Amino acid sequence: MTPVAFDTLPLAPTLHQGLRDLGFVETRPVQSAVLPFALVGDDVLVSAETGSGKTIAFVLPILQRLVSAPAPAPTGTRALVLAPTRELAVQIADTIEGLTYHTSVTSAVVCGGMPMEPQDRALRAGVDIVVATPGRLMDHMRGSAVEFSTLEVLVLDEADRMMDMGFWPDVQRIVSALPAVRQTLLFSATLPDEVMSLSTAIVRPEARYLQLGRAGRPATTITHTVQTVPSGEKVEWLARFLRKADGPTLVFVRRKTGAERLARDLQRHGLRAAALHGDRSQGERTAAVEGFRSGRFRVLVATDIAARGLDIDGITHVINFEVPDSTEAYVHRVGRTGRDRATGTALTLVAPEELRALRALEKSVGVEFQ
């Protein structure tokens, strides 16, 4: 799709100012494809590669709607964004906060790892936009008078991941509590048959379907490499590699205990490393991510909880400490690099006993490992 200058789009002046403040100059392909439909109120189903810039593609239409047609006070929540992980929800909310700096639009994040009471107050007050994880939002809907009778827009971000994580029943219950007349925008790295089938009950029959990039494949800006290393030697090899590598590096492991252990091992080798996984508190997770973003940590060791929603500029390498156990895991992990037209390297450490799994992954992902 041809890039379009943001300052030529039919947006409110306050949103143009917010875009300029954040350094956005022209659209990326997913934004060029989605914005013409989303801005006029169409329902849209989008399959786009991880790191393609889809957050702006759904945030801008929501904000343009809210700014151009303010609801009479008092009002309730007008837009709901559902995301699978805390990290992704927080990053979406950060984007909204940046773009609404020159407006009166209000927003709130509703996700686990944070106190319930402030979230409950925000939901009861009816902030304009709620960004939530399905599980925590269901907790509030069960325990209080949360309702969305004034809702105009629903966004499902990373729909396939929400299905993989078992959130779809909660998503369906949440959707059943929303007004039937609304705009729905569904975004996903892949749109498997299960998502397509269930989405028919969520979007309008005339919804637009957009496929950007290669379905279920990594971005073409990523180089895929392999290093054969015996299992017992992986830590030593990785430490040597990281001492020579330039830029921030994200290392993926399968298990939470593995993330903690590997981060400690790398620290013992003199590397500034932190661990990110589901058993850490929200404060610990935020400290790890922000420390990595700021450069205080050169290495972040993570489980797949970070494969979605971790949007940090400049990650030069993604390293799989073991061969990922699925195509989806590989695609979403390596999507943390090679973003926003930058190039990146995905390196997988393979023990001899993992070679068969690697060959199967190579075939399913459709890339040739170097």
Q: Is the dihedral of CA 63, 68, 70, 76 positive or negative?
A: negative
Phi-psi region at 337: left, alpha or beta (left = phi > 0; alpha = psi -120 to 50) = beta
Chain-centroid distance of CA 363 in Å reads 26
pLDDT digits (tens, 9 = 90+) for 297-324: 999 999 987 656 677 778 889 999 999 9
Q: For residue 64, is pLDDT > 90?
A: yes
Domain boundaries, the chain: 6-211, 222-365
pLDDT at 46: 92
- Cβ 272 vs Cβ 243: under 8 Å: no
- Other C-beta atoms lying within 10 Å of the C-beta of residue 20: 12
Residues 20 and 137: their CA atoms lie apart, in Å, by 33
- Amino acid code (one letter) for 164: D
**DSSP codes, 248-302:** -EEEE-SSHHHHHHHHHHHHHTT--EEEE-TTS-HHHHHHHHHHHHHTS-SEEEE
| Single-letter amino acid code for the residue at 351 | A
So what's the pLDDT on residue 73? 63
Mean pLDDT of 85-96: 90
Tell me the pLDDT tens digit for each residue of 207-252.
Answer: 999 988 665 567 778 889 999 999 999 999 999 999 998 888 999 9
Q: Do the Cβ atoms of 184 and 202 come closer than 8 Å?
A: yes
pLDDT of the residue at 332 = 80
Instruction: Identify the pLDDT of residue 308.
Output: 61
Report phi then psi at 317, rounded to 5: -135, 140
Fold of 6-211: Rossmann fold (3.40.50)
pLDDT at 259: 92
CA-based nearest residue to 300, from 335, 324, 276: 276
Distances (CA, A) of 291 to 78, 261, 273, 300: 34, 19, 9, 9
65: its two tokens: 């709607």
**Residue 199: its pLDDT value, please?**
85
Mean pLDDT of 345-361: 92
What is the token pair recorded at 31? Answer: 């934004």
CATH superfamily of the domain spanning 222-365? P-loop containing nucleotide triphosphate hydrolases (3.40.50.300)
Domain 6-211 and domain 222-365 have a common topology:
yes
Q: Which of 255, 315, 30, 338 is nearest to 157 (CA)?
A: 30
Q: Each residue of 165-213: pLDDT tens digit?
A: 788 899 999 999 999 999 999 998 777 777 788 888 899 999 999 988 6
CB-CB contact of 298 with 249 (8 Å): yes
pLDDT band at 155 (very low <50, low <70, confident <90, very high): very high
